[in-house]
Structure 1
Amino acid sequence: MTTVRYFAAAEEAAGVASETRSETTLDALRDALVADHAGLGAILPRCAVLVDGARHDDDLPLTGSETIDILPPFAGG
């Protein structure tokens, strides 16, 4: 199962710090996250979504062994 970790405002919107998922593409995962956590709908498009530490296209196949980090924009300088 793929592990999804949420940080800062994404964690607040999802209501969990992490969860395991079974979607087979990054695009399907994004859609399922919004369906399961309505609060993510407004924030997910602005978040960095990292698969094992790197950005990828939405059609990336997921094997189930990835760690996905959902990172909202951070303010600061």
Structure 2
Amino acid sequence: MARSKLVKANEKIAEKVVGVYKKIEDTVVGGYKKIEEGAVSGFTKISDSFVDEFLTKDGETVEEAKARLAEEQREREAARTEKN
């Protein structure tokens, strides 16, 4: 009987430890995700602003300018590959 009480007590302790660990893990991961989202969002805003200010042509949207720039980059890389 003493052994079963000890086993039950150990199980309760284990459940509490795991529960607390999961709460801590969720808090840390949630905080990291918020920081990551903020950093990515800030970078995207700055990038869009730069493209809008300096790299768009008349009447071109930021998305169109980014697509055009990506295509130009692929063409440059293809030309460089052909040279080698």
Return the index of the structure with the highest Cα Rg. Answer: 2
| TM-score interval, normalised by the smaller of the two chains | under 0.3
Structure number with the higher strand fraction is 1
Higher relative contact order (CA 8 A, sep 6+): 1
Structure number with the higher helix fraction is 2
TM-score, length of structure 2 as denominator length: 0.21
